[in-house]
Amino acid sequence: MALPASADVVVVGAGNAALCAALAAADGGASVLVLERATEAEAGGNSRFTAGAFRCVYDSVDDLRALMPDLTDAEVASADFGSYSAAQFFDDMGRVTEYRTDPELCEVLVGDSRATMLWMRDQGVRFLPIWGRQAYRIGGRFRFWGGLTVEAVGGGPGLIEALYAGARRRGVAIAFGARATALTVANAGVAGVRVRSEGGAHDIAARAVVLACGGFESSAEWRTRYLGPGWDLAKVRGTRFNTGDGIAMALAAGAEAAGNWSGCHAVAWDRNAPAYGDLAVGDGFQKHSYPLGIMLNARGQRFVDEGADFRNYTYAKYGRVILEQPQQFAWQVFDATTAPLLRDEYRIRQATRVCADTLEELAGKLEGVDAAAALATLQEFNAAVKRNIPFDPNVKDGRATDGLAIPKSNWANPIETPPFEAYQVTCGVTFTFGGLRIDRSARVLSADTGAIPGLYAAGELVGGLFYFNYPGGTGLMAGAVFGRAAGMGAAAFARERKG
């Protein structure tokens, strides 16, 4: 499309947070232009690569049925959905971030989570329970665990498709292959965006700008500068376009940096996955069933408590631990007892997988691993399992090991029933935690003078919410909550500027 000369609100980025901002701004009566650096074929940011899970507050199954009207009586009868209170959400955010999360931003995230999900439903996004990945069927009944119950229909691609359809219905203009390079600033605040596209460089005037174009995880140089040595070797789970552009533009305009700049969301990712995400595979390169087995490094040693907590409270920090191992890899090992419980991502044809009928054979097939040490570790682990405690994957079952230097606190099943399976993983970076300081209304704050007039931010380039780790499903939820707030604020500010 030909770029217009102006718009009431310009949104930089085209993922979940950006599109929520665009829809909210359109709700507020603003003319909206979305600038997407990627081509249309690659558009959607990191959101398109996700499984589409959202963590939100709900008090009962009635709240879930309001969000998911297609939920049938039979499905409700077959599942224990439990509840997830605001207090639990606060506790999880505090615990996993070591109580560093910004209290005001956290309060907005938690308090607005359910209302934002209902608003997204009204914008055309459909949701369903996370059957299988967040609930195991035990005794004919699903039980949901870990505070994570809901995902978008169609996962990340389905979420983005629904948001794009909503934006088109609302008359939001979307320009692909349009890279924002700088903010234009006047005495009264932000006045627009400088853009580079096939047609050359353009200045687009705007009454308000929303930055929602991701963190800096796709820049090996920025990763090494801020995350530290070795992070240039990590793979990127999602888009190749999140290179810190929005952060750099805002800092140049006087914005204040905030958050955990040396931290990121990083997971166990197939060692032979490509350097950046593959939309044909999506989230399939992730390997998140490690609580059901054990992980071995190149020395043939365990290096982390695989059962310390539910997967969705540890997976975003264990990628860093894997990157710290010799040669930056590990093998996840399972036996026939737990293999049927592995998530679907273990069954993709691209998985780096070996199988064996004996532990000796398995140890010899683990490429890059000291086989003798691996066999000794497996045997030592098997001998340490407290077999008198029942195994239950739906709860923290306390089935632990005894006497190991690195314990396994839950779900400790001996690796002894053939056939055996192992999957080779490395570190996959999802998004970085450092970014811009915003207030409760998603206004970008200056290091000197309070809010920068006309500038808003949402999504992964916001700093202050996450430190060291994060609860699964919180990234998309935060993007939607603050994206909506940014769009509402930008539209209101644009109206004021119009007079």
Name the one residue in this structure whose structure tokens are 């890899």: 329
Res 229: pLDDT: 95
Res 440: pLDDT: 97
Kindly report, residue by residue over 336-348, the tens digit of the pLDDT. 999 999 999 999 9
Res 463: pLDDT: 98
- pLDDT over 70 percentage in the chain: 100
Residue 58 CB coordination number (10 Å): 22
**Mean pLDDT for the chain overall:** 96
Kindly report, residue by residue over 354-407, the tens digit of the pLDDT. 999 999 999 999 999 999 999 999 999 999 999 999 999 999 999 999 999 999
Going by C-beta distance under 8 Å and a sequence separation of 6 or more, which residues neighbour residue 368? 298, 327, 329
> Hey, what are 58's tokens?
């709900």
Q: What is the mean pLDDT of residues 183-197?
A: 93
Report the distance separating Cα 389 and Cα 238, nearest Å: 40
Enumerate the domain spans of the chain. 6-217+437-498, 266-427
Taking the CA atoms of residue 258, residue 263, residue 269 and residue 272 in that order, the dihedral angle to the nearest 10 degrees is 100
Kindly report, residue by residue over 11-55, the tens digit of the pLDDT. 999 999 999 999 999 999 999 999 999 999 999 999 999 999 999
Kindly report, residue by residue over 98-142, the tens digit of the pLDDT. 999 999 999 999 999 999 999 999 999 999 999 878 888 877 888
> Hey, what are 391's tokens?
């195994």
Q: Which pTM was predicted?
A: 0.95
Asked whether residue 1 carries a pLDDT value surpassing 80, the answer given is: no
The length of the chain is 499
Res 322: pLDDT: 98
Q: Is residue 141 a contact partner of residue 78, using CB atoms and an 8 Å limit? A: yes
Q: Is residue 10 a contact partner of residue 204, using CB atoms and an 8 Å limit? A: yes
Question: Which pLDDT band, with edges at 50, 70 and 90, does 188 fall under?
Answer: confident
Of 179, 178, 180, 183, give the one whose Cα is nearest residue 255. 183
Of 48, 487, 428, 82, give the one whose Cα is nearest residue 237. 428
Name the one residue in this structure whose structure tokens are 């592995």: 342
Report the distance separating Cα 224 and Cα 233, nearest Å: 9
Residue 457 CB coordination number (10 Å): 32
Amino acid identity of 10? V
**Which numeric CATH code is attached to 266-427?**
3.90.700.10
| CA separation, residue 207 to residues 11, 80, 262 (Å) | 11, 48, 34
Name the one residue in this structure whose structure tokens are 């086989």: 371
Going by C-beta distance under 8 Å and a sequence separation of 6 or more, which residues neighbour residue 381? 294, 302, 401, 404, 408, 412, 414, 415
Res 47: pLDDT: 98
CATH 3.90.550.10 fits 6-217+437-498, yes or no: no
Q: What is the mean pLDDT of residues 398-423?
A: 98
Name the one residue in this structure whose structure tokens are 């780790």: 469
